[in-house]
Amino acid sequence: IIYLDNNATTRMADEVIQAVSEALVIYGNASSMHGFGRDAAAAIEQARHQVASLIDCDPSEVVFTSGASEANNTVFNIFRDKIDLGSKRNRIVTTTIEHPSIIETVKFLKSRGYLVDEVPVDKTGRVDLATLKTYLGEDVALVSVMTGNNETGTIQPIEEITKLVHAVGAYMHTDATQAIGKIPVSMKDWDVDYMSLSGHKFYGPKGIGVLAVKKKVPFETFIHGGHQEGGKRAGTYNTPSIVGIGVAAELAEKNLESESKHLWHLREMLRLGIVQTIPNVVVNGNQEHCLPGTLDVSFPSAEGESILLYLDLDGIEVSTGSACASGSLEPSYVLLASGVDIELAHGSIRFSFGHYNTEDDVKYVLQKLPPIIKRLRELSTR
Ligand code: PMP
């Protein structure tokens, strides 16, 4: 199997599997004061340091969650609870191309009367700073812009956006889920107030993520109960998964440079191969500011789902649009929001590379893909 769906999820690294397996044996409750409890607590604190080092923040700012969906929901919920609808600072600003865990939260908030603006993006899926500025004012409480898009790979200028956001006295959140381990990510340098990430996107376990919260920014306990996570999120610690995301974070930090080069090389090899061998294709997203492993391509007159199924028969696993939005057979909302034509949005395929892919994988795709597109195009013109 050639797995080219690493933006949906990644295979756990061997080092992570090893560490998680060992942590399964540390069965003490990290809140217990005896030796077993202290062993678990020490393993968790080590993971907190590993994650903090990766995203360049203080370990006390790391809150473990069940994933990025929970982290994203939580940031919006904090502001929902803080915002008095009648007050002057009562608006949230985000974009049209966020992950569904934000898009759906925004829909819910709007249905309850909260004021949320979704800033449009340009044709490459990038937020234009001048456009964003027109949405920012003294009435804005929170701005949330993702670091890199899961579907097109387009990277946003988070540092510049944060400056604009802070200039009007608002707080800044970024969903860095797709950027981790692929580009440098820094809470400190970017000066963001909240950041979300997810273990399973960088060779860690599923069901574990992080909400990083800068000191002295608004925060509410979001699960009431015990004193875990400094009283922010109650519940017995998921020690094995926390240990797993910690080891994954350490690997991501150590391998960042080589990983980024490896992913870009494979992505470019596939992009060039596709444009050279298949006529009339459109590469989506911003080609200058792009996550190194993501390649999103539209094949006019060939349906995305059909391409996906034919590739699957040949043992190549890709996705149409985003895995979270697919299953609906709707065209990609990310591409539509970027002003891409509806037919092109229907025929898009996302190839997303990971650590374990090789040049041979790309060669195999370049051998199988052109005849599939040719056949589907012939069928569609009959
Ligand atoms: N944000 C982005 C950008 C994502 O790609 C994903 C995963 N598809 C999520 C959030 C949700 O992460 P999780 O699966 O940990 O809830």
What positions carry a catalytic annotation? 324
Give average pLDDT by consecutive 10-residue segment, the chain, 382 residues.
98 98 92 93 97 98 98 95 82 97 97 96 96 97 98 98 98 98 98 98 98 95 93 95 98 98 98 97 97 96 93 97 56 91 88 98 98 94 65
Q: What pLDDT, on a 0 to 100 scale, did the predictor assign at position 6? A: 98
Topology of the domain comprising 2-9+256-381: Aspartate Aminotransferase, domain 1 (3.90.1150)
- The answer to ipTM > 0.90 is yes
Place of tokens 């109960």: 225
Task: Give the up-direction half-sphere exposure of residue 335: CA atoms within 13 A in the CB hemisphere.
Answer: 26
Q: Is the dihedral of CA 127, 131, 135, 140 positive or negative?
A: positive
pLDDT of residue 382: 59
- Ligand 1 atom nearest to CA at 207: 15
Which of the listed residues 324, 332, 350 should we mutate to test ligand 1's pocket, taking the one with most ligand atoms within 8 A of CB? 324
What is d(CA 231, CA 229) in angstroms, rounded to the nearest whole number? 5
Please identify, in words, the CATH class of the domain defined by 14-252: alpha beta
Q: Do the domains 2-9+256-381 and 14-252 sit in the same CATH topology, yes or no?
A: no
Residue burial 118-147, b: 16+ Cβ < 10 Å; e: rest? bbebeebbbbeeeebeebbeeebbbbbbbb
Atom of ligand 1 nearest to the CA of 8: 8
Q: What is the pLDDT of residue 330?
A: 78
Residue nearest to atom 15 of ligand 1 (CA): 67
Q: 339: left (phi > 0), else alpha (psi -120 to 50), else beta?
A: left
d(CA 189, ligand 1 centre) in Å: 23
Domain boundaries, the chain: 2-9+256-381, 14-252
- CA 110, 191, 194, 202 torsion: positive or negative? positive
Name the residue of 95, 99, 294, 350 to mutate for ligand 1: max ligand atoms within 8 A of Cβ. Answer: 99
Q: Where are the beta strands (DSSP E) in the chain?
A: 2-3, 62-65, 91-95, 115-119, 140-144, 171-175, 194-198, 209-213, 282-284, 294-298, 316-317, 348-352
